[in-house]
Structure 1
Amino acid sequence: MPKVLVSDKLSETAVQIFRDRGIDVTFDPSIGKDKDKLLSVIDEYDGLAIRSATKVTGKVLDAARNLKVVGRAGIGVDNVDIPAASKKGVIVMNTPFGNSITTAEHAIAMMFAVARQIPEASASTHAGKWEKSRFMGVELTGKTLGVIGAGNIGGIVCQKAVGLGMKVVAFDPFLSEERAGELRVRKVELDELLAEADVVTLHVPLTDQTRNVLSREAIARLKPGARVVNCARGGLVDEEALAEALKDGRVAGAAFDVFAEEPATASPLFGLPNVVVTPHLGAATTEAQENVALQVAEQMSDYLLTGAVANALNMPSVTAEEAKVMGPWLDLAGHLGTFAGQMTGEAIEEINVLYDGEVAGMNTAALNSAALAGVMRAANPDVNMVSAPVIARERGIDVSTTTQAQTGAFESYVKLTVRTAGRTRSVAGTVFSDGKPRFIQIKGINVDAEIGEHMLYTTNVDVPGIIGALGSILGGNGVNIANFTLGRTDRGEQAIALLSVDEAVDPAVQEKLRETGMFGQVKALRFGM
């Protein structure tokens, strides 16, 4: 039974989901704030469900030898060391859609608040003043809203703004013209947006590309009298430059829910009369908190029980249905990689995975990860589908994918090609109707070999006596052959043998085969079954 630790506050309903799915769950929100306690217990668990209090550092991950998945109830994963998790083979999931509506609504609310000076007017009225003429606002209807980032949350903001009668322009390199038409917005470049927008709202993650997207230079290009709303991430806006623009009147107002440093106890924007600020409340509604908690519990349960991967930040997603259909193909991809990895002693420079026929329409990103994991396990048995792509990148291996329609006798097959400085090696396989993976080609030689846990691979020139030598030496040393496959390029030319045996072939037995002078290569192989 998988074990999950919930170390932050999650709803009882979410915790019950784990229990109902047959998972042994420990619910102790105090652990997330106690680093030493977390370090002392994390090794017991397969899964860790968190919010923002728990810090999943490299040190925690080193201690978590059994951990398979970290689930963040929410979108932000600043408290998780994702590169370290990837190297350790731990999947990191978040819940990017559970609080989308709530965050979009907060952005709209903040836009109204700064346009109508609602917080200042409220404070004045509470103080017993009646300063009706002081708080002259502006209408949003008919104004132009500039949306930077029209993804999930940004798209909802676009739709709501159109509903309010605003004109909407959007800057997003990934926004297609078709999607822009569906949202009823006009796709523009950033400079055009800055020049046209009466209100600019940001809805992008914080990356190297988006950091300071509203820089001092960009703020200088804003339409005079514009207002800026940021309910996305701190660090997207140069707060000091914006404060200067607010003070001299070039920018009419700003509304911020997020800051470069959080918790924010000081900011150049604090204390300015034309600025509305809130303490990162974008996702702070009862509905959103419940939604993300339920979602993370379902996602983690699905992964631990069925292998389905949803909303992972360091691995391709695989639905439960895909996991059922792809299971044998994932096994095959792993076996192909395992074969190539064990056969390759030199540094690998390139890996290509070719998908032919029906398998080309499957989730090839996940299949690639399985193949890479197989290759890398030859050097490190702890590598898995999460860590393998990271290790490949670190080693400078060029990984590519080829897909094609059915070209041969098989309805579908996968071919893995590995290139080193000195040679190129390929192995292909397929899955038959019985669901069992098979090797169908090695070094360009056709074979039909079932895959067993222990196998022996040999190469030779096609001459009489090879089968006899193999049978005699293996049998004489107590090695039982379960399956025997032969293949050759042509009569009298290069040939291979692939044997499935009941136990590992001892190195001394392999050496006896080499001493016959009949074999060019003798290699014992092992496959995880």
Structure 2
Amino acid sequence: MTQRRFDNPKIVLLDPGIASCTYEKELFEENGYHFDVFEGEKDDYETKLKMATDAVGILIRFTEINDAFLEQTPHLKAVARYGVGYDNIDLDACTRHGVRCSNVRGYGNHSVSDHALALMLSCMRMLKAGNENIYSQFSAPPAEDIPEIHQQVLGIIGLGRIGSTLAQKATPLFKKVIAYDPFISDKKFEELGVKKASLEELFETANIISIHCNLTDDSRHLIDEKAFERMEQRPIIANTARGEIIDEEALMGALENDKIHSAGLDVFKTEIPHELSKELINHPKVMATGHYAWYSDRAQKELQKRTADNLLAMLQDKNPDDCLNPF
């Protein structure tokens, strides 16, 4: 690992979409840095790279940080990501180049778990179809199979911060809450009052499945055609984690073949949905939202503050709690 020098104290926010970056601007300028914001198109990688060439620190959401990027940013010392997931950051490459990286953990525990519950309930009550048919079928239920929440078994995939928060909220509402997470201790399951289950058991017994695991090589397409075949209860699927955890083609097949009740989706294969994702969004049994499960007014403020604070700490050769590759 080679430690980098930096002479030009420039910070760049590379990904647009944040309404106001007043906190970031004030923090960095008070500490002697020049703060700049990229205002072009999301996929304009070349312009982003030009802006970052002489930067010592960058703030990102979805820009890919890999060897090719790092080789052209010789002054870069730290990368801070707005959000929990960091599958767009090559941590090994960053470590080799002497670049610290951070995400922000825990800021959206309540907002994401709230959104997951909202998607589940929207699917249970078939709110999309009910809204679309309000004039043609007023007072008539939009479907025969509308279950009641107290009769349902909720299966949570991923019992980390968000999954645990969801479990705490869901336990009084559901008949039973079960979860699959091979990285969580039995003690944690006991503390939450959640039954530990294998993935196969969860597929077989859950009436509603909510996804809260990270996207890794192992979890990509974790929910595929074989998984849908094992789902015996014709469940509702809710995904507020990462789109690629579900094989979208297999999901469409499961909807069309009536293997699942419905789906609530906040994330898709690509950040801006294309082709098959659009078919899913328009499907009568899909409640779709535009990747804003993370958002609440409180969560937004915490996310921006901690992302900026993390970057400043790393530029000062410190390892904040959110640092992904401390050295």
Deviation digits for residues 132-175 of structure 1 (CA, Å, limit 9, x no counterpart): 23345221123110011101111111111113244100111012
Distance in structure 2 (CA, Å) of the matches to 1:285 and 1:29: 24
Structure 2 gaps of 5+ residues are 1-7
Alignment of 1:494-513 (within 5 A): none
3-state DSSP of counterpart to 2:25: helix
Say if 1:47 and 1:70, in contact at 8 Å, map to a contact too. Answer: yes
1:51 match: 61
Say if 1:6 and 1:27, in contact at 8 Å, map to a contact too. Answer: yes
Name the aligned partner's letter for residue 22 of structure 2: E
Which entry has the higher C-alpha Rg, 1 or 2?
1
Could you tell me which of 172, 176, 197 is aligned with 2:181? 172
2:142 match: 134
Q: Relative contact order: is structure 1 or structure 2 higher (C-alpha 8 Å, sep ≥ 6)?
A: 2
For residue 113 of structure 1, report the CA deviation from its aligned partner.
0.6
Say whether 1:216 aligns with 2:225. yes
Alignment of 1:307-322 (within 5 A): 307-313=318-324, 315-316=325-326
Distance in structure 2 (CA, Å) of the matches to 1:133 and 1:5: 52
Alignment of 1:415-494 (within 5 A): none
Identity of aligned residues (%): 29
Deviation digits for residues 89-128 of structure 1 (CA, Å, limit 9, x no counterpart): 2112111222222111111110001000112212322x57
Could you tell me which of 265, 277, 300 is aligned with 1:289? 300
Q: TM-score, structure 1 length as denominator?
A: 0.55
Could you tell me which of 264, 268, 274 is aligned with 1:259? 268
Deviation digits for residues 378-421 of structure 1 (CA, Å, limit 9, x no counterpart): xxxxxxx4xxxxxxxxxxxxxxxxxxxxxxxxxxxxxxxxxxxx
Deviation digits for residues 257-280 of structure 1 (CA, Å, limit 9, x no counterpart): 122233212226343322212222
Distance in structure 2 (CA, Å) of the matches to 1:24 and 1:211: 39
Name the aligned partner's letter for residue 142 of structure 2: R
3-state DSSP of counterpart to 1:217: helix
For residue 46 of structure 1, report the CA deviation from its aligned partner.
1.6
For residue 293 of structure 1, report the CA deviation from its aligned partner.
0.9
2:26 match: 16
For residue 31 of structure 1, report the CA deviation from its aligned partner.
6.0
Distance in structure 1 (CA, Å) of the matches to 2:252 and 2:86: 28
TM-aligned CA distance change 1:24 to 1:32, over 3 Å: farther
Say if 1:32 and 1:38, in contact at 8 Å, map to a contact too. Answer: no
Could you tell me which of 305, 309, 312 is aligned with 2:316? 305
Say if 1:214 and 1:237, in contact at 8 Å, map to a contact too. Answer: yes
Say if 2:100 and 2:314, in contact at 8 Å, map to a contact too. Answer: no
1:95 match: 104
Structure 1 gaps of 5+ residues are 317-384, 386-529
Say whether 1:119 aligns with 2:128. yes
Could you tell me which of 5, 11, 27 is aligned with 2:12? 5
Name the aligned partner's letter for residue 140 of structure 2: K
Select between 207-216 and 127-136 the one with higher mean Cα deviation: 127-136
TM-aligned CA distance change 1:271 to 1:308, over 3 Å: closer
Say whether 1:148 aligns with 2:137. no
Name the aligned partner's letter for residue 50 of structure 2: S
Say if 2:152 and 2:207, in contact at 8 Å, map to a contact too. Answer: yes
Distance in structure 2 (CA, Å) of the matches to 1:306 and 1:156: 33
Q: TM-score, structure 2 length as denominator?
A: 0.87
Say if 1:210 and 1:236, in contact at 8 Å, map to a contact too. Answer: yes
Distance in structure 1 (CA, Å) of the matches to 2:292 and 2:119: 11
Aligned residues: 313
Alignment of 1:191-230 (within 5 A): 191-230=200-239
For residue 68 of structure 1, report the CA deviation from its aligned partner.
0.7
TM-aligned CA distance change 1:39 to 1:236, over 3 Å: closer
Give the strand-richer structure, 1 or 2. 1
Distance in structure 2 (CA, Å) of the matches to 1:31 and 1:299: 25
TM-aligned CA distance change 1:235 to 1:306, over 3 Å: closer
Distance in structure 1 (CA, Å) of the matches to 2:41 and 2:88: 11
